Structure 1
Amino acid sequence: MEASTPAETSKPVDSRYYEAGATWEDDTHRSLRRSRTLAWLVSGVASVVAGLSLLTLVLILPLKEFEPYVIEVDKTTGYLEVARALKPGDLSQNEAVTAANLVRYIRARETYDAREIKQNYDLAQLYSTGTASRDLTWAYTPSNARSLDKLYGRNVTVSVDVKSVSLLNSTTASVRFSTTTRRENSSTTDNWVAVVKFRYTTTPIKNEWRFD
């Protein structure tokens, strides 16, 4: 039997085709491995950063505190004052002694009574130094035309009522007080705030000052 058309013969495949396929497959696997490695690296870095952030937060939490304060408003003057931080317990021994000394100083310094001038003056001078001492001396100097004994004489008194003492820091205090000036037929009340700088020195030598 004779064939009507000649038989087709297959051509050999170029070896470069297989080589190109193998190269493409290697490149694909290499790219996948690189992507997977990069993903793990990014994930690891993110985990480390998150861990460090959490550690930092834990370390700084004890440093963050909310400290409440009491604000006093004087109904008469409208004066605002931060009384002191709210802490458990009462005043410490040192704070109580300091507050008492400040009250004694303000009373002695601002009180005027002709019968007690020397006593108040001496006590106020005991608590004074520097400019405060010089100002007090000038307030009672005979050559001062506006000395307190000339202004008030013997018939006027000035009494002091200390409202509060706030220790601002270890060397400064705010003292809120009022003075009432009484004359023969009238009286006047004024409100004051004194900011007092203080420090402790040696104990007074005289027992009369220790027991005052």
Structure 2
Amino acid sequence: MVEQSNKKAYLFAIFCGALSILAIIAVMLLTPLKTTEPYLIRVNDTTGAVDIITVLDTEQISNNEALDKHFINSYVRAREGYFYDMLNRDYELVLTLSSDRVAADYKELYKGENARDKVFKNNIQISVDVLSIVLTESAGVKTATIRTNLAIKNLSSRNLINQYRIITLSYEYQNLAFRENLRHINPLGFKVLTYRIDEDIKR
């Protein structure tokens, strides 16, 4: 009787083991099919209710002016601003939102003896006030003109200088399929393709 019971337990254990192996294989086969789809979430200011508006595709993203201005504002603040304690975060953000060519130009600011962080160290803070963002599109190229005030403060002397600048950049939303570890920084694939900064001579 005991021997028969042990045999049943043994067969049951084999069955469970085989089932577990099949489950693992099924998960492994399905994993490549997993995709992460970006979407907008709306929160009702009065009730606090949350609902999903839509799943976004590249065309919808490109036509959303609010999204364009959000990413442009974040990019300009990170690129032109300077806060020593936030330098690594801003540096990573700029690189993630830049095309390879624009990223290469930006990296040059932090190379050599005249690198930005070596010159400014922890003595300078630059706050960026974005005054306006004007979006245009010509021949399929999306462009933004941004007027800014760079408030440069010397933390030792407390001296403050305002510099007014005009930034012109072009941008697009690229293929949304990129590394998962970057999705929290740039969930929609926003990329700056060209970047130029000039003095605002009207000021």
TM-score range, shorter chain: 0.5 to 0.7
Which runs of 5 or more structure 2 residues have no equivalent in the other structure? Answer: 1-61, 188-203
TM-score by length of 2: 0.54
What is aligned with 1:192? 165
Contact map agreement 2:97 2:186 (CA 8 A) in 1: no
What is aligned with 2:185? 209
What is aligned with 1:168? 136
Aligned residues: percent identity?
24
Measured after TM superposition, the shift of residue 189 of structure 1 is: 0.7
What is aligned with 1:118? 88
What is aligned with 2:152? 181
Measured after TM superposition, the shift of residue 137 of structure 1 is: 0.8
Indicate the structure with greater strand content.
Answer: 2
- CA displacement 1:3-35 (0-9 Å, x = unmatched): xxxxxxxxxxxxxxxxxxxxxxxxxxxxxxxxx
Contact map agreement 2:96 2:186 (CA 8 A) in 1: no
CA distance in 2, matches of 1:147, 1:154: 13
Measured after TM superposition, the shift of residue 138 of structure 1 is: 1.0
Measured after TM superposition, the shift of residue 93 of structure 1 is: 6.3
What is aligned with 1:102? 72
Which runs of 5 or more structure 1 residues have no equivalent in the other structure? Answer: 1-91
- Moved runs in structure 1, 4+ residues, more than 3 A? none
Indicate the structure with greater helix content.
Answer: 1
User: How many matched pairs?
Assistant: 118
Q: What amino acid does structure 2 have at the position aligned with 1:155?
A: N
Measured after TM superposition, the shift of residue 210 of structure 1 is: 4.7
Contact map agreement 2:149 2:164 (CA 8 A) in 1: yes
CA distance in 2, matches of 1:105, 1:193: 14
What is aligned with 1:146? 114
CA distance in 1, matches of 2:129, 2:122: 21
What is aligned with 1:159? 127
TM-score by length of 1: 0.52
Root mean square deviation of aligned Cα = 1.8
- CA displacement 1:46-95 (0-9 Å, x = unmatched): xxxxxxxxxxxxxxxxxxxxxxxxxxxxxxxxxxxxxxxxxxxxxx9611
Measured after TM superposition, the shift of residue 171 of structure 1 is: 1.1
Higher gyration radius (CA): 1
Q: What amino acid does structure 2 have at the position aligned with 1:138?
A: E
Partner SS state of residue 171, structure 1: strand
Q: Whose RCO is larger (CA < 8 A, sep 6+)?
A: 2
- CA displacement 1:112-168 (0-9 Å, x = unmatched): 111011000000111111332111111112xx2221111101121111010110002
